[in-house]
Amino acid sequence: MYHKKLKPFPKDFLWGASTSAYQVEGAWNEDGKGPSIQDLKTIPADTSDFKVATDHYHHYKEDVALMAEMGFKTYRFSIAWTRIMPTGDGEVNEKGLAFYSDLIDELIKHDITPLVTVYHFDLPAALEEKGGWKNRATIDAFTRYCEILFKAYGDRVKYWLTINEQNMMILHGAAVLGTGKPDWKDLYQQNHHMMVAQAKVTTACHNLLPDAKIGPAPNIACVYSQTNNPEDVQAAETMAAIRNWLYLDMAVYGEYNALAWAYMEEKGYTPTFEPGDEAILKAAKADFIGFNYYASRTVAASPIDDTASPEAGDQQLAVGEPGVYRGVTNSYLEKTEFGWEIDPAGMRTTANQIYSRYRLPMIITENGLGGIDKLEDGKIHDDYRMDYLSKHIHQVQEAITDGADIFGYCPWSAIDLISTHQGFRKRYGFVYVDRDDFDLKELKRYRKDSFFWYQKVIKTNGEDL
């Protein structure tokens, strides 16, 4: 594909950036917040826990002012379920409700559209103790929790995201959530419950807030075949079905993707449906698709005695499953310091694939470079980040020119926060937060070079990259 002339970004394009509650807020047990699974998980000895994070809970006004200075049109953040309902269900914590209400007001005061993720990896610990997503009671708790949010904030929040990276929680649960060795049959049952929960809140949102829009936020990556051997190509198709389309087919069509279902049948992983599930799934249709993209994936066919293990890897690192597919390194791509491949063109391909399958408006809800930043004389020269982001934004424009309906771009992350695995060593923000894994210092904020660069990108509506 080529283009002679790129179409401009739409004039009301939603430039912004993302964070998630447990990675940015801190104040882990303040003002009535209950513990989430993230607060209780075992953290490697050389890495910070999530108790203070960036302390955004106490700095949110300063942080929103920095976002406004960059010119953000939107800010994607998540709500900590355990601030609203400390035990995941039952009593509502007014102070928790007030925090997000104030944050939303602060954003609106600065003309920043709130884009709210209701659940980003931080299941209430009290629900986990009762079986978490294995337990169908979690579906009802999630629905009640979301209804509270819709009623409390629906007058001001028009864009909602349901579950962040449900596909990564299932495929890389051990890495993302620290849940230990996967039991796949059980995981696909949990997955089914999350699908039903998502469908219920999508419908609840439509009923309670007819003007609002709601969609999923999986991590979607186009899957390349290592060679033109038809067997490799089929392995790539299978992986795309298991990794990507299973989640989006459900969010949009309310049905299991056929190829993914066939895989689950073959493996004995098909979930049990309760009466009514089918109708609940079918009744809910996303209004738009949010997707996180960090890099493409490349795979080859895998012999049944393959040693590739589905238990290894993280959100992006190559894994595989004997007899299904084997993740391989793409020799055309460079890697970040943390080993994730960099593939800007793959983002265009991914957006085009999603659009041709679902024909729904899309917003990129995460994309970004985790790097080791150095603070020197109050400055952070993060040209590697600007390079990564400008190449990806260029590809967003290519995809828009291809005809994909993309209405916003929210890289990860608005401000430095704790990485899911590498603590404060791995940073993503436009704003540097001065602390390291164990020394909290003063948590002072510094504008990185990428801050000023992104300010210019937004000001010129993506013309000056």
Binding site for ligand BGP (CB under 6 A): 20, 23, 164-165, 168, 219, 292, 315, 366, 370, 412, 419-421, 426
Q: What is the largest CA-CA distance in the chain?
A: 63
Question: Based on CB atoms, which residue is closest to ligand BGP, 130 or 421?
Answer: 421
For ligand BGP, the closer of residues 141 and 417 by Cβ is 417
Give least dist CB 165 to ligand BGP, A: 5
Between 217 and 284, CB nearer to ligand BGP: 217
Kind plus residue range of the DSSP H or E element containing 347: helix 344-358
Exposed/middle/buried for residue 465 (C-beta within 10 Å: 0-12, 13-18, 19+)? middle
- Shortest Cβ 415–ligand BGP spacing (Å): 13
* Annotated catalytic residue, options 366, 376, 398, 463: 366
CA distance 139 to 169: 16
Q: 17 - beta bridge partners?
A: 75
How many C-alpha atoms does 207 have within 13 Å on its Cβ side? 11
Length of the chain: 465
Whether 278 is a known active-site residue: answer no
Shortest approach of ligand BGP to residue 347 CB, angstroms? 15
Q: Which of 17, 14, 10, 115 is nearest to 451 (CA)?
A: 17
3-state SS string for 181-206? CCCHHHHHHHHHHHHHHHHHHHHHHH
Do residues 84 and 136 lie in contact, with contact meaning Cβ atoms separated by under 8 Å?
no
Nearer to ligand BGP, 165 or 321 (CB): 165
Give the nearer residue to ligand BGP in terms of CB position, either 292 or 330: 292
In DSSP terms, which residues pair with 412 in a beta bridge? Answer: 18
Q: How far is the CB of 414 from ligand BGP (least distance, A)?
A: 12
Residue with smallest beta-carbon separation from ligand BGP: 419
71, 114, 215, 312, 453 from 462: Cα distances, Å: 12, 21, 25, 38, 11
CB 25 → ligand BGP: shortest distance, Å? 13
- Nearest-CA neighbor of 273 among 367, 195, 339? 195
Q: Which of 348, 320, 345, 350 minimizes the C-alpha distance to 334? A: 345
329: tokens are: 């390194």
If the CB atoms of residues 161 and 399 are measured against ligand BGP, the closer one turns out to be 161
| Least Å from the CB of residue 419 to ligand BGP | 3
State the catalytic residues: 366
